Structure 1
Amino acid sequence: MFEWIEQYTPVTQAFFGTTFTWVVTALGAATVFLTRSVNQKVLDAMLGFAAGVMLAASFWSLLAPAIDMATRQGMTPWVPPAIGFMAGGLFLWGVDKVLPHLHPGLPIEEAEGPQTTWRRATLLVLAITLHNIPEGLAVGVAFGAAAHGIPEASIGGAVALAIGIGLQNFPEGVAVAMPLRREGVSRLKSFWYGQLSAIVEPVAGVLGALFVMSARPALPYALSFAAGAMVYVVVEELVPEAQLSGNADLATNALMVGFTVMMILDVALG
């Protein structure tokens, strides 16, 4: 099924996969050419769906293979996943503290990180960019791991992860572009800022693939690191944003759907 992509190097595969996720973000941002706003319930449902996809991907595509790899390499099965998972969360926590950013739906007075005079658009882009670094890294690490011929890591699983990340990137593009459009920013600029938030994914993906290609013993740590960073984003940002407008039940049900979809993708393709 995946012969067409197996002919390429893992770095190229990672680039293709993360370029796909960036394109889907751009499609989400492109909705500003069709409408000036999106119903808040729809947006909250999309954010909940995205959170579910990321949670499922963190376990099925990253943590579970990391545990199996650690066992196969003769390590204590829980040590590399635990270390990598916590390191991923701490990394995102640290970046949150040093990089100014603003979550969608919040006034500029509630921007996080050091005080700055940067514009709202820049702060919004930086917030979503923080989401996208671990996502691109996860896809890159998955393709790099598959290249080692380890049973727990397959091309199919990496493709499933890229598809899942792509699906949940659509609402992220909307979440950046739509608020800017509502504030009077032109359609073109709103789209530009929306897609710009995901341009980091191909960079992170290529770097992730290069790292695991040259350091096989670090694979369980790298997979778990990406999982920890993604879970941190879900709990600290996506879930609160999805429930900010009082649509908690809708967002939670959408999260369940997103988790199920990603689980099916991973099991069916991986």
Structure 2
Amino acid sequence: MNEWIFNNPILAALLGTMFTWGVTALGSSLVFPFKNVPKKVFNGMLGFSAGVMIAASFWSLLNPGIGLAEELQVNYAQGTFQYILFTPWLQAVLGFLSGGLFILLIDKYLPHEHIESHHKEGLPSSWRRSVLLVLAITLHNIPEGLAVGVAFGYAASAFGTSTAASAAIGGAVALGIGIGLQNFPEGAAVSIPLRREGMSRRRAFAIGQFSGMVEPIAGVIGAFLAISMRQILPFSLCFAAGAMIYVVVEELIPESQMLKTTKIATIGAMIGFSVMMMLDVALG
């Protein structure tokens, strides 16, 4: 398996993000047996997603990104520009903030609507609510797909030593599984509200699963950039982490706290964090 991923990192990223897209579709399929989901359950699922993404940002992205920056830094003489550039904390801060800035700009200009609050953001638009909901979830899925792709690209670059390769590949697989798990409620978050408003089950399902289509695209782009320019890998890993944390703080946590009773969402976040941490430590 290690050699296959090393030789086919882009294909591995594509398959990994196709899995996460498939779980989005599985979540959207809840629209067939259910017309509605209790808000407490829904908020718990959003909290779970937030917990997974927070844990993935550190265990699967920031931590290996800092480690790789340390590895690259030793290749340069002290005092050179490259040596300073690959200072681990500098790579982490620049990448993390750039990822957040990237999503902030998309959030500012891309028309979309928040799931529970119905608050519209981005440039003014006359698009239908279904389109705005899809764009909101698509905004979540860009950094998720990018993160999985970059993780598989990093795994290919780390193949030089068996220990590093096994850890990197395990981390990439764990990230794909974790992102897939948290995509389940995201798919339901689009399709069920549309069904609740009177849309047919088939159409609500189609729109819900369509929101995950961007992940394979972002995943392939992330893997291609990671294997093409290894020196930007530390930045790329931290960039993906910053993008995901921005989505968590901007969207998932506020949306999960819409009810007066917030404990269910908080417990969901704790469980999501624990599941992702367990996957990453066990597989990575």
Range into which the TM-score falls when normalised by the shorter chain: over 0.9
Residue ranges of structure 1 left out of the alignment (5+ in a row) = none
Is it true that 1:90 corresponds to 2:101 in the alignment? yes
Distance 1:164 1:57 in 2: 8
Letter of the 1:62 counterpart: L
For residue 138 of structure 1, what is the aligned residue in structure 2?
A: 147
Distance 1:268 1:196 in 2: 32
TM-score, normalized by length of structure 2?
0.91
Distance 1:3 1:37 in 2: 43
Is it true that 1:20 corresponds to 2:33 in the alignment? no
Residue ranges of structure 2 left out of the alignment (5+ in a row) = 74-85
Query: Pairwise mapping of residues 103-252 of structure 1 onto structure 2 (< 5 A)?
Result: 103-107=114-118, 110-149=119-158, 151=164, 154-252=168-266
Moved more, 7-16 or 231-240: 7-16
Distance 2:108 2:176 in 1: 28
Q: Which whole-Å deviations, capped at 9, do the CAs of 1:12-60 have from their partners, x for residues lacking one? A: 0000000000000000000011110111111111110000000000000
Letter of the 1:116 counterpart: S
SS of residue matched to 1:50: helix
Distance 1:269 1:57 in 2: 13
Moved more, 72-81 or 112-121: 72-81
SS of residue matched to 2:112: coil
| Conserved 8 A contact 1:135-1:201 | yes
Q: Which whole-Å deviations, capped at 9, do the CAs of 1:136-195 have from their partners, x for residues lacking one? A: 000000000100126276111100000000000000001000110000000011001100
Sequence identity percentage: 58
Letter of the 2:224 counterpart: L
SS of residue matched to 2:157: coil
Which structure has the bigger radius of gyration? 2
Moved over 3 A (4+): 2-8
Distance 2:208 2:4 in 1: 28
Letter of the 1:58 counterpart: S
| Conserved 8 A contact 2:7-2:156 | no
Is it true that 1:52 corresponds to 2:36 in the alignment? no
For residue 29 of structure 1, what is the aligned residue in structure 2?
A: 28
Deviation of the 1:254 alpha carbon: 1.0
- CA RMSD between the two structures: 1.3
Q: Which whole-Å deviations, capped at 9, do the CAs of 1:97-146 have from their partners, x for residues lacking one? A: 11000011133xx3101111000000000000000000000000000010
Moved more, 4-13 or 189-198: 4-13
Q: 1:164 to 1:71 in 2, by over 3 A?
A: same
For residue 92 of structure 2, what is the aligned residue in structure 1?
A: 81
Distance 2:222 2:113 in 1: 26
Distance 2:4 2:186 in 1: 27
Distance 1:182 1:230 in 2: 29
* Aligned length, in residue pairs: 267
SS of residue matched to 1:78: helix
Distance 2:226 2:3 in 1: 22
| Conserved 8 A contact 2:31-2:195 | yes
